[in-house]
Structure 1
Amino acid sequence: MSLSTETDVNVLLVDDLQENLVALEALIRQPGRRIHTARSGDEALSLMIEHPFALAILDVQMPSMNGFELAELMRGTERTRGIPIVFVSAAGREQNYAFRGYESGAVDFLYKPLDPHAVRSKVNVFVELFRQRLDLLHMQGELERAVRMRDDFMSMVSHELRNPLNTLFLQAQLRKRMAAAGRLPDAAAFGQLVQRDEQQIRSMIRLLDDIIDVSRSRTGQLAMSYAPMDLAALARRAVEAMDEPARAAGVALSLDAPASIPLVGDEVRLEQVITNLLTNALRYGRSRPVAVTLRVDGGEAALSVRDHGDGIDPADQERIFGQFERAESGRDVPGLGLGLFISRQIVLAHGGRLEVHSTRGDGAEFIIRLPSPPGGA
């Protein structure tokens, strides 16, 4: 369904005689079409300021302001000059009203008595043209948004890759100078250098993996490999893997989980989701404690990641699951804004849900809900 078919299209009828308005309205009324009527030029102008119209049908012979005068006013105003005008007149053709009507900017001129079929056909044409124009404007807006997203995306990718690459380059230059000076590091120092290199490389690989996952999700090709697994063991492993980054950020990271929660899923992909949520909690949690809780409730396994950062405004709680979207934190937080989008796609592929509960100023809780087989607790 096109955008234009989701809303009514406005048509304006202007005639000083109520019976003429009633008859014409009955003739052209259809579903998806809203008819507005005015009995004077001033009333018509007021309506045109309030509503966008696909067509205005004007009676020529009206007191105070006739149809031609109204048309001239319409053509002199930015908001109304694009409205197609069809004149209607009971005067004879010999008065040459049609010529004056076309001079006033009319697209058509009809004489009374009106031919019902001709009137309906002409109105249908202008209503359809208006709908198509709305669709084109919407498409133009979407294309402009896509171009902005592409430019923003390329800028973010460049920024996110530049940081670890710069770090690797500087470390390589440092080792080169140390080697030239004959001051090679001992085994312990060399191990630390390698560890830092691995961290930067993993950061870049994770970034590239996210980009690939977004591309695959768009085509329905996000790969999953389902097998029996233990969600509790997976949660423990994911939390342990984040223990060092948490300590480096000064964050107390805790886990409360039962001994085992068996279910069927893609272990690698679900670990990716938990890691994404923990990474975000460290980024946005303002160095306050982060708690991971795992429970089985009502046939579902529920894994919660709770931070105590700034929280997320209600208006943003759905937006942040979109592509390239991030929570507003007032700080320069790294990342492309892909993690939550990918995480939700993975959870949905498991027949589950990824939810967020948050109050601004009181942190955020992200909950993964997955179907748990009977006896899984």
Structure 2
Amino acid sequence: MPETNLLLVDDLRENLVALEALVRGSGRRVFSARGGEEALSLMLEHPFALAIVDVQMPSMDGFELAELMRGTERTRHIPIVFVTAAGRELNYAFRGYETGAVDFLYKPLDPVAVRSKVDVFVDLYRQRQELLRMQEQLERAVKMRDDFLSMVSHELRNPLNALYLQAQLRQRMAAKGQPPDLAAFQKMVSRDEHQIRSMIRLLDDLLDISRARTGRLAMSPSEMDLALAARRAVEAVHDQARTAGVQISVEAPAAMGFVGDEFRLEQVVLNLLTNALRYGRGQPVAVRLRTEGREALLSVRDQGPGVPAAEQERIFQQFERGSTGGQVAGLGLGLFISRQIVEAHGGRLELRSDPGDGAEFTLRLPLPAAGA
């Protein structure tokens, strides 16, 4: 938890030193001011849980300072406790409460009373800050929910609209009694399958995100060929790459033995390739598989705008997408799920990128021990 700031205002240094000795404590930061102008300057720079202000000061007394504080949005909510050496018969307390004070302390100060009052205001301030933090988290969660529902609706609407239009077209053909053109019919079926696969993948991502958050992302490790899995992932995006005019190169050994969940690791490479096609601006994409020590390194590199340093960790979070690609499809789940899968294999998913120089995502997977 951040430190709680306290402000002491008195024109006499010895009074400030004595008061600071009473109010300092763990998690507290004490600021001192020798006059009203200095106090206002500090209040404009820092948030304060409490201001303890001496009433009788030259040039600007405590009451004048309190009135100025109440006139500014940033300072009006700071609780003020006045300190005075004047007797109670002068009725300073009435004027103090009129200017917004919450309490009065009379000199000579009672150390126990001072500490207890400060403790109360510090606790109230921390509780208020915690409530504000919880409110911000709630508002962010509501916004994430709304954004998520909007994205899901958008991602489902496109393939559903395409399927609906295809169905309408076939219905009109049937109503006219037209014999189906075999080539055109096969093309329609192929488009239908593509849209259905898109929706299935979207639903699978939603299920995966739920499983990952509860630690139930299923893995079925077995002996597999990592090189073959990489080539199959490239083959899966072949049509998408050809349509976009993107060339995908593969540099890999003929085979690389591994023990892992073949389907899940292929899913990771597919996610990375899909992102490279989305963000790569039509430039070539390179897939490379090699070994380094006792690790297998499988990288996917694009030649797009790259990922700014400030975003390189954020894009691995749920529902987050890069800001350099404009309006792109997807829910922002692929990288989050991919990292969960790789870590479940005891590996790491790393990103190396400089703005304007593309992005390279690398899976680092531990190879099985010799003879295992």
TM-score (structure 2 length as normaliser): 0.96
Tell me the residue number matched to 1:26.
Answer: 21
Cα deviation 1:68-89 (Å, max 9, x = unaligned): 2211221122111101011111
Rounded Cα–Cα distance in structure 1 between residues aligned with 2:327 and 2:37: 54
Query: Does 2:49 align with 1:54?
Result: yes
Aligned to 2:298, the other structure's residue is in SS state: strand
Rounded Cα–Cα distance in structure 2 between residues aligned with 1:316 and 1:99: 55
C-alpha change, 1:361 and 1:135, in structure 2 (3 Å) is same
Tell me the residue number matched to 2:303.
Answer: 308
Query: What code does the residue aligned with 1:281 have?
Result: A
Shift of 1:227: 2.1
Tell me the residue number matched to 2:82.
Answer: 87
Tell me the residue number matched to 2:167.
Answer: 172
Contact map agreement 2:307 2:353 (CA 8 A) in 1: yes
Tell me the residue number matched to 1:283.
Answer: 278
Tell me the residue number matched to 1:360.
Answer: 355
Shift of 1:193: 1.8
Query: Does 2:217 align with 1:232?
Result: no
Tell me the residue number matched to 2:366.
Answer: 371
Query: What code does the residue aligned with 2:66 have?
Result: A
Rounded Cα–Cα distance in structure 2 between residues aligned with 1:77 and 1:158: 45
Tell me the residue number matched to 2:108.
Answer: 113
Rounded Cα–Cα distance in structure 1 between residues aligned with 2:352 and 2:287: 14
Query: Does 2:159 align with 1:159?
Result: no
Shift of 1:51: 1.1
C-alpha change, 1:293 and 1:30, in structure 2 (3 Å) is same
| RMSD between superposed Cα atoms in Å | 1.5
Alignment of 1:1-377 (within 5 A): 5=1, 7-375=2-370
Rounded Cα–Cα distance in structure 2 between residues aligned with 1:51 and 1:334: 43
Aligned to 1:209, the other structure's residue is in SS state: helix
Aligned to 1:78, the other structure's residue is in SS state: coil
Query: What code does the residue aligned with 1:165 have?
Result: L
Shift of 1:260: 2.4
Shift of 1:126: 0.8
Rounded Cα–Cα distance in structure 2 between residues aligned with 1:104 and 1:313: 50
Query: What code does the residue aligned with 1:57 have?
Result: I
Moved more, 206-215 or 216-225: 216-225
Contact map agreement 1:351 1:371 (CA 8 A) in 2: yes
Rounded Cα–Cα distance in structure 2 between residues aligned with 1:332 and 1:88: 60
Contact map agreement 1:227 1:264 (CA 8 A) in 2: yes
Contact map agreement 1:12 1:55 (CA 8 A) in 2: yes
Query: What code does the residue aligned with 1:19 have?
Result: E
Shift of 1:54: 0.4
Aligned to 1:228, the other structure's residue is in SS state: strand
Contact map agreement 2:9 2:52 (CA 8 A) in 1: yes
Rounded Cα–Cα distance in structure 2 between residues aligned with 1:81 and 1:92: 28
Count of residues paired in the alignment? 371
Query: What code does the residue aligned with 1:126 have?
Result: F
Aligned to 2:94, the other structure's residue is in SS state: helix
Contact map agreement 1:175 1:184 (CA 8 A) in 2: no
Query: What code does the residue aligned with 1:30 have?
Result: G
Query: What code does the residue aligned with 2:47 have?
Result: P
Rounded Cα–Cα distance in structure 2 between residues aligned with 1:37 and 1:251: 64
Rounded Cα–Cα distance in structure 2 between residues aligned with 1:79 and 1:69: 17
Contact map agreement 1:356 1:366 (CA 8 A) in 2: yes
Contact map agreement 1:230 1:263 (CA 8 A) in 2: yes
Cα deviation 1:132-183 (Å, max 9, x = unaligned): 1111111111111111111111111111111100110111111111112222
Shift of 1:31: 2.3
Rounded Cα–Cα distance in structure 1 between residues aligned with 2:262 and 2:178: 45
Shift of 1:22: 0.3
Rounded Cα–Cα distance in structure 1 between residues aligned with 2:205 and 2:279: 19
Shift of 1:362: 2.1
Aligned to 1:178, the other structure's residue is in SS state: helix
Contact map agreement 2:237 2:273 (CA 8 A) in 1: yes
Shift of 1:226: 2.1
Contact map agreement 2:279 2:325 (CA 8 A) in 1: no
Aligned to 2:104, the other structure's residue is in SS state: strand
Any unmatched runs of 5+ in structure 2? none
Shift of 1:375: 4.0
TM-score (structure 1 length as normaliser): 0.94
